[in-house]
Amino acid sequence: MSDWRGRDRTYRLCAYGSILCLFAFLFLVENYADEYQIRILNVSAIFVTMAVSYNLINGVAGQFSLGPNAFMAVGAYTTALLTISPAEKELCFIIEPIIWPLSVLHLPFLPSLLIGGTFAALLGFIMAFPVFRVRGDYLAIVTLGFGEVVRVVANNTQSITNGPLGLKGLPEYTNLWWSWGVAVFTVFCVTRLVKSSFGRAMQAIREDEVAAAAMGINVFRHKMLAFVVHAFFAGMAGGLMAHLVTTISPTLFSFFLTFNLLVIIVIGGLGSMTGSIIAAIIITYAGEWLRAVEEPMAIGPFNIPGIPGMRMVVFAIMLILVMIFARQGLMGRREFSWEWFCGFLRTGERRG
Amino acid sequence: MSFFKVEHLTMKFGGLMAVSDFSLTTKEGDLIGLIGPNGAGKTTVFNMITGRLLPTEGKIYFRGEDITGTPSHIINARGIARTFQNIRLFNDLTVLENVVIGYHGRLHSSFLEAIFRLPRYKSEEKKMRSMARELLAEVQLDNVADEKAGTLAYGQQRKLEIARALATNPRLLLLDEPVAGMNPRETGDMMDFINSIHEAYGLAIILIEHDMRFVMGLCEHLVVLDHGVTIATGTPSEIQNHPQVIEAYLGEPEGA
Amino acid sequence: MDLPLFLQQLLNGISLGSLYALIAIGYTMVYGIIRLINFAHGDVLMVSTYFTYFGISVYALPWWLSVIIAILLTALLGILIDLGAYRPVRHAPRVSALITAIGVSFLLENLGLVVFGGRPKAFYRPDFLNKTYELAGVHVFSLSIWVPLVTALLLVLVFLLLYRTRVGAAMRAVAKDMEMVQLMGVDVNRVISLAFAVGSALAAAGGIMWAMKYPQINPLMGIIPGLKAFVAAVLGGIGNIHGAVLGGFLLGVMEILLVAFLPSLAGYRDAFAFILLILILLFRPTGLVGKGASG
Query: Do A144 and A255 meet the contact criterion of CB atoms below 8 Å apart?
Result: yes
Convert the pLDDT of each residue in A279-333 to its tens digit: 999 999 998 888 876 666 666 566 666 666 788 899 999 999 999 998 888 888 8
A193, B114: Cβ pair inside 8 Å?
A: yes
Answer whether C180 touches A (CB < 8 Å): no
What is the C-alpha to C-alpha distance for residues A49 and B216, in angstroms, rounded to an integer? Answer: 59
C263-289 residues labelled b (16+ CB within 10 A) or e (exposed): eeeebbbbbbbbbbbbebbeeeeebbb
Chains B and A touch (3+ CB pairs under 8 A): yes
Using pLDDT thresholds of 50, 70 and 90, give the confidence band for residue A1: very low
Q: Is C135 helix (H, G, I), strand (E, B) or coil?
A: strand
Answer whether B91 touches A (CB < 8 Å): yes
Convert the pLDDT of each residue in A232-286 to its tens digit: 999 999 999 999 999 999 999 988 899 999 999 999 999 899 999 999 999 999 9
What is the C-alpha to C-alpha distance for residues A269 and C190, in angstroms, rounded to an integer? Answer: 33
Q: What is the mean pLDDT of each run of 10 residues along chain C (295 residues)?
A: 79 92 92 90 94 88 90 96 93 90 94 87 82 75 86 92 89 82 82 93 93 89 90 89 92 89 80 87 82 38
More confident residue, A177 or A309: A177
Answer whether C79 touches A (CB < 8 Å): no
* pLDDT score of C1: 59
Name the neighbours of B, counting chains with at least 3 Cβ pairs within 8 A. Answer: A
Using pLDDT thresholds of 50, 70 and 90, give the confidence band for residue B73: very high
Please state the length of chain A: 352
The DSSP annotation for B100-126 comes to HHHHHTT--S-HHHHHTT-HHHHHHHH
Facing residue for A216 by CB, picked from B76, B90, B97: B76
Alpha-carbon gap: B28 to the closest alpha carbon of chain A (Å) = 21
Dihedral (C-alpha) B89, B92, B95, B101: value to the nearest 10 degrees?
-70
**If you average pLDDT over residues B178-204, what whole number do you get?**
91
Is the pLDDT assigned to residue B94 strictly greater than 50?
yes
What is the C-alpha to C-alpha distance for residues A185 and A176, in angstroms, rounded to an integer? Answer: 14
Facing residue for A262 by CB, picked from C102, C111, C118: C102
- Secondary structure element (H or E) that encloses residue A91, with its range: helix A86-92
What is the C-alpha to C-alpha distance for residues B19 and B227, in angstroms, rounded to an integer? Answer: 7
Question: Which chain C residues are Cβ-neighbours of A309 within 8 angstroms?
Answer: 110, 113-114, 118
Contacts of C84 (CB under 8 A, 6+ apart): none
What is the C-alpha to C-alpha distance for residues A175 and A42, in angstroms, rounded to an integer? Answer: 7
* pLDDT score of C52: 92
Question: Which chain C residues are Cβ-neighbours of A259 within 8 angstroms?
Answer: 102, 106
Query: Do A172 and A244 meet the contact criterion of CB atoms below 8 Å apart?
Result: yes
Using pLDDT thresholds of 50, 70 and 90, give the confidence band for residue B196: very high
Least confident of B48-57, B79-88, C26-35: C26-35
Facing residue for A259 by CB, picked from C37, C106, C281: C106
Using pLDDT thresholds of 50, 70 and 90, give the confidence band for residue B242: confident
Convert the pLDDT of each residue in C196-233 to its tens digit: 999 999 999 999 999 988 888 999 999 889 989 999 99
Using pLDDT thresholds of 50, 70 and 90, give the confidence band for residue A2: very low
Using pLDDT thresholds of 50, 70 and 90, give the confidence band for residue A11: confident
Using pLDDT thresholds of 50, 70 and 90, give the confidence band for residue B254: low
**If you average pLDDT over residues A98-119, what whole number do you get?**
88
B114, A192: Cβ pair inside 8 Å?
A: yes
* pLDDT score of A103: 78
Report if pTM > 0.80: yes
Answer whether A132 touches C (CB < 8 Å): no
Chains C and B touch (3+ CB pairs under 8 A): no
Is the pLDDT assigned to residue A4 strictly greater than 60?
no
Facing residue for A327 by CB, picked from C96, C102, C107: C96
Question: Which chain A residues are Cβ-neighbours of B72 within 8 angstroms?
Answer: 210, 213-214
Facing residue for A207 by CB, picked from B90, B114, B165: B90
Q: Please count the other Cβ atoms lying within 10 Å of the Cβ belonging to residue A235.
A: 33
> Which H, E and C letters describe C232-254, residue by residue?
HHHHHCCCCHHHHHHHHHHHHHH
What is the C-alpha to C-alpha distance for residues A163 and A157, in angstroms, rounded to an integer? Answer: 6
Q: What is the ipTM of this complex?
A: 0.91
Query: Do A54 and A261 meet the contact criterion of CB atoms below 8 Å apart?
Result: yes
* pLDDT score of A300: 58
* pLDDT score of A141: 87
Is the pLDDT assigned to residue B11 strictly greater than 50?
yes
* pLDDT score of B109: 93
Query: Do B197 and B81 meet the contact criterion of CB atoms below 8 Å apart?
Result: no
Question: Which chain B residues are Cβ-neighbours of A208 within 8 angstroms?
Answer: 88-90
* pLDDT score of C9: 87
What is the C-alpha to C-alpha distance for residues B162 and B155, in angstroms, rounded to an integer? Answer: 11
**DSSP 3-state helix, strand, coil percentages of chain B (rounded to 5)?**
40, 25, 35
C43, C91, C98, C102: which to substitute to probe chain A, counting the most A Cβ within 10 Å?
A: C102
Alpha-carbon gap: A114 to the closest alpha carbon of chain C (Å) = 29
Closest CA to A136 of C119, C240, C98: C98
C27, C31, C95, C259: which to substitute to probe chain A, counting the most A Cβ within 10 Å?
A: C95
Question: Which chain B residues are Cβ-neighbours of A225 within 8 angstroms?
Answer: 111
What is the C-alpha to C-alpha distance for residues A30 and A45, in angstroms, rounded to an integer? Answer: 14
Could you give phi then psi for residue B229, rounded to 5 degrees? -110, 140
Angle between helices A255-268 and A35-55 (to 10 degrees): 80
